[in-house]
């Protein structure tokens, strides 16, 4: 039980990171029906930017609490802004010229951009993994169990609390943006019917650009969290994280914001529980098989709307 609880905490933390990335996939897919393959690499780039800013600021574990919080906010904002620029630029250069073209064309450019970003970072930042000393330490012990095997303590680290809290805050903010602001209204309108939306005076191109910007900003948050939580990054983390996040988006029902979050949590939990109880090598297999199973029995995902085929 205690062991399970511990894995649950770890799974939710990991799931939050996946969920944040998955939102970028789901929003883009919802609006233009395209798999933005480069999204995982935007996440990777943003974690490198976060690493650069952290190193530049000289942030270490011995920095005082107030300063650490201030510095982390600065890191987060910088990473979000620069990642947004990356997201905006890729959309402008690689996807917009192909708008209205047939469906596979933007997918191929997205794969191309993904290759470009990976190799660009490999060239500019080096191929070796970048280790970062932990910045946020300590945590709380929720419960301990003492038995014949010794002591087992269920812990939640400050880092995990931070990740979960930040995710909840950002999810709320973004849900509000989608639900209340005019930008969100425009996005929902474009999602339903792009042509009609443009007839009614919505700047569709701008709305799509903003969607990419929002997705990239959330990916940057995930990038920083990933960096702080795992402490090692390299130029290849974007691919695996991206595929899993897309899996999460599909699992939750593509196009649905809460669905992406839920899918992220499910994937995170499956992965952690599978590594805890079965084998760590096959955790990805478990997550992907789960995807196939869900899609076969529930093709629209967990929270997606069933699709009506019209002639």
Partner 1 sequence: MADTESTPSRPARHLDFSKVVKDLIVTTLIATAVFGSTIAFRTVSAAGGLGLEVRYDIAFYVIAAVVIGRLLLWIFVWSKPPGTSAVEMPVSIKSGLAKVSAKVGKGFGPTMLLFALVFPFLPFTDRYLLDLSILILTYVMLGWGLNIVVGLAGLLDLGYVAFYAIGAYSYALLAQYFGFSFWMCLPLAGILAAFWGIILGFPVLRLRGDYLAIVTLAFGEIIRIVLLNWYQFTGGPDGLSGIPRPSFFGLPFNRSEGGFADFFGLDYSSIHRIMFLYFLILALALLTNFVTNRLRRLPIGRAWEALREDEIACRSLGLNTTSVKLTAFAIGAMFAGFAGSFFATRQGFISPESFTFIESALILAIVVLGGMGSQTGVVIASIAMIGGFEIFREAEQFRMLIFGLAMVIIMIWRPRGLISTRIPSIFLKEKKKVSADMVAQGEGH
| Residues within window 219-258 making contact with partner 1, judged by CB under 8 A | 239, 243, 246-247, 250, 254
User: Could you give the string, one character per residue 53-82, with x where binding to partner 1 holds by CB under 8 A and - elsewhere?
Assistant: --xx---x--------------------xx
Closest CB to partner 1 among 2 and 284? 284
- Total residues contacting partner 1 (rule CB under 8 A)? 71
- What are the structure tokens assigned to 265, written together? 């949590």
Across the strands, what pairs with 268? none
| Sign of the torsion formed by the C-alpha atoms of 280, 281, 286 and 291 | positive
Closest CB to partner 1 among 184 and 268? 268
Give dist(CA 85, CA 217) in Å, integer: 9
H/E stretch holding 216 reads helix 204-230
| Least distance to partner 1, CB of residue 168, Å | 27
Give dist(CA 101, CA 236) in Å, integer: 30
The CA R_g of the chain, rounded to the nearest whole Å, is 20
Applying CB under 8 A, the span of 93-101, 139-147, 186-194, 267-275 interacting with partner 1 comes to 93-101
| Least distance to partner 1, CB of residue 74, Å | 14
Taking residue 188's Cβ as centre, other Cβ atoms within 10 Å add up to 15
Q: What backbone torsions phi and psi does residue 139 show, to the nearest 5 degrees?
A: 175, -170
| Least distance to partner 1, CB of residue 239, Å | 7
Closest CB to partner 1 among 165 and 285? 285
- What are the structure tokens assigned to 148, written together? 């014949």
| Least distance to partner 1, CB of residue 31, Å | 14
Q: What backbone torsions phi and psi does residue 236 show, to the nearest 5 degrees?
A: -100, 0
Interface of this chain with partner 1, residues 28 to 57, rule: CB under 8 A: 29, 33, 35, 45, 48-49, 51-52, 55-56
| Least distance to partner 1, CB of residue 179, Å | 26
Coil vs helix vs strand at 224: helix
Interface of this chain with partner 1, residues 186 to 225, rule: CB under 8 A: none
User: Could you give the string, one character per residue 273-302, with x where binding to partner 1 holds by CB under 8 A and - elsewhere?
Assistant: --------xx-xx--xx-xx--xx--x---
User: Could you give the string, one character per residue 94-123, with x where binding to partner 1 holds by CB under 8 A and - elsewhere?
Assistant: x-xxx--xxxxx-xxx-xxxxxx-xxxxxx
Let me know: does 73 contact 272? Beta carbons within 8 Å: no
Contact between 8 and partner 1 (CB under 8 A)? no
Give dist(CA 274, CA 287) in Å, integer: 9
Closest CB to partner 1 among 141 and 195? 195
Closest CB to partner 1 among 91 and 163? 91
Query: In this chain, which of 69, 93, 142, 196 binds partner 1, going by CB under 8 A?
Result: 93
Q: Could you give the C-alpha distances from 279 to 70, 118, 282, in angstroms and in order?
A: 40, 29, 6
Interface of this chain with partner 1, residues 121 to 180, rule: CB under 8 A: 121-126, 128, 130-133
Q: What backbone torsions phi and psi does residue 258 show, to the nearest 5 degrees?
A: -60, -30
| Least distance to partner 1, CB of residue 146, Å | 35
Closest CA to 8 of 135, 150, 160: 160
| Least distance to partner 1, CB of residue 134, Å | 11
């Amino acid at each position: 039980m205690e062991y399970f609880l511990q894995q649950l905490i770890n799974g939710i933390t990991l799931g939050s990171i996946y969920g944040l990335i998955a939102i970028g996939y789901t929003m883009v897919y919802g609006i233009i029906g395209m798999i933005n393959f480069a999204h995982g690499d935007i996440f990777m780039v943003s974690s490198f930017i976060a690493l650069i800013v952290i190193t530049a600021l000289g942030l270490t574990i011995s920095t005082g609490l107030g300063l650490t919080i201030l510095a982390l906010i600065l890191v987060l904002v910088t990473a979000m802004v620069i990642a947004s620029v990356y997201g905006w630029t890729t959309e402008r250069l690689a996807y917009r010229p192909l708008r209205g073209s047939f469906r596979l064309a933007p997918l191929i450019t997205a794969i191309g951009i993904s290759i470009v970003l990976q190799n660009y970072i490999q060239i500019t930042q080096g191929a070796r993994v970048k280790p970062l000393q932990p910045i946020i330490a300590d945590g709380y012990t929720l419960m301990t169990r003492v038995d014949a095997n010794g002591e087992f303590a269920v812990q939640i680290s400050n880092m995990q609390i931070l990740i979960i809290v930040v995710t909840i805050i950002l999810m709320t903010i973004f849900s509000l943006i989608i639900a209340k602001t005019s930008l969100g209204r425009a996005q929902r309108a474009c999602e339903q019917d792009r042509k009609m939306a443009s007839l009614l005076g919505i700047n569709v191109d701008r709305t799509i650009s903003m969607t990419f910007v929002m997705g990239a900003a959330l990916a940057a948050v995930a990038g920083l969290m990933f960096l702080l939580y795992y402490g090692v990054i390299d130029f290849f983390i974007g691919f695996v994280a991206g595929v899993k996040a897309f899996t999460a988006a599909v699992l939750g029902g593509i196009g649905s914001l809460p669905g992406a979050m839920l899918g992220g949590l499910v994937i995170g939990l499956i992965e952690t529980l599978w590594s805890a109880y079965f084998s760590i090598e096959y955790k990805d297999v478990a997550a992907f098989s789960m995807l196939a199973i869900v899609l076969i029995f529930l093709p629209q995902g967990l929270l997606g709307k069933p699709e009506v085929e019209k002639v």
